[in-house]
Amino acid sequence: MTLFLNSSDSNFDAAFEQLLHMKRESDADVDAAVADILADVQARGDGAVIELTAKFDKLELTPDTLAFTAQEIDAAIETVPAAERAALELAALRIRAYHERQFPEDAWWTDESGAQLGWRWSAVEAAGLYVPGGLASYPSSVLMNAIPASVAGVDNLVICVPTPNGVVNPLVLLAARLAGVETVYRIGGAQAIGAMAFGTQTIAKVDKITGPGNAFVAAAKRRVYGIVGIDMIAGPSEILVIADKDNNPDWIAMDLLSQAEHDESAQSILITDDAAFGQAVADAVETALKTLERRDIARASWRDFGAVIVVKDLDEAAKLSDRIAPEHLEVCVADAETYSKKIRHAGAIFIGAWTPEAIGDYIGGPNHVLPTARSARFSSGLNVLDFMKRTTLARMTPAALRAIGPAAETLAKSESLQAHGLAVRARLDQLNEGDE
């Protein structure tokens, strides 16, 4: 049953803590199975991937058919309706323009000692992008993963998308083409993560893997981290809406359901300072659930994990929001832009009643791959920097080494690292002899 909380109730703190720590992840113990799959892929390469794809996706492949051919991609793209193609092209343009502004600058300067210092940014060489397939096929996720990688300058980009029974969403292939990715493998699950992490006879290993997936994909990404980089371990989707009474309950209800329809384990929460408005939204949710296409999924999510929280004022709402650290936060209050600055922890903030979270999933520009399960307290959504690394630079002149070298020698001695100190002393001694 959907949870109704009021911050003035005596048991509120305990009930709120229980809400924060609801277990929404799958209870299935998949880690052992994933460990076996990864070991098999690492040992047998293509053979393991092909067998596992036949087992789980009912698709028979060979090394030559692991990837879509350019002709297959062209043919699939031709079937995309014009309106959908135009919408995806607009989304790609907006996402690229937003992420191009994230590109970092190199730096190089001389400090007061005469030392030259700085950093240089460079892209990872190869990245593998995982895209869910089947019923959970999201071309928008292709754009959100591939475009930041492209903007970063990654040389080699590949996509793995499961194609159960050989069925693929043509929009996924169009999105790959729009993002500049030509290599799309028709494989999924933990075996796809293993193939990208370890490499096979056909699939080259990558340096970083990004993209959402089911429990098996998440467990595989967790296990290969360190062999490759990963973006995050994403959990079920979530939305928090902070709204005052001057909002349309039907709008807010649909915003809550926009996440509930993703997954039975998704979570939708409303915080309001008006109890009557909170009830009106809850009623509107129930009405909408009667006609929503994915009503069974959305109803289970709202029933098991949904909540309406009534607070004494909006300052309290902001404090509760930071404790939740939601993946998506809608701020639907007066002077929403100013109010949004009270929030420290959120994956993405949607400011004002005219900014539904659904805009962010598709066409807004910012990335929709966001931290879940309160991890927005310490992490950010996917961005260009996830596909880059910063190399620090330092160059000592003789004068700079004379100025700061003795302190380095002293610290090396204090740590009993003799060779460290001697590496500096040898150069200082030469300087003292007058040979620069």
Q: Kindly list the catalytic residues.
A: 327-328
The runs of H, that is alpha helices, within 101-186 are 139-152, 170-178
| 3-state SS assignment for residue 391 | strand
Closest to 209 in 3D by CA, of 162, 154, 263: 154
Q: Which residue has the tokens 């003292």?
A: 432
Q: Coil, strand, or helix at residue 210? A: strand
| Residue 291 amino acid letter | T
Q: Cα separations (Å) of 395 from 119, 268, 409, 426, 434?
A: 11, 53, 17, 17, 20
Q: Are 310 and 5 in contact (CB under 8 A)?
A: yes
Write the CA distances from 48 to 190, 233, 409, integer angstroms: 11, 24, 54
DSSP for 245-279? SSS-HHHHHHHHHHHHTT-TT-EEEEEES-HHHHH
- Assign 3 to helix, strand or coil: strand
Given CA atoms 81, 82, 87, 91 in this order, what sign does their dihedral have?
Answer: positive
Which stretch of DSSP H or E encloses residue 398? Answer: helix 398-414
* CA quadruple 82, 84, 85, 87: dihedral sign: positive
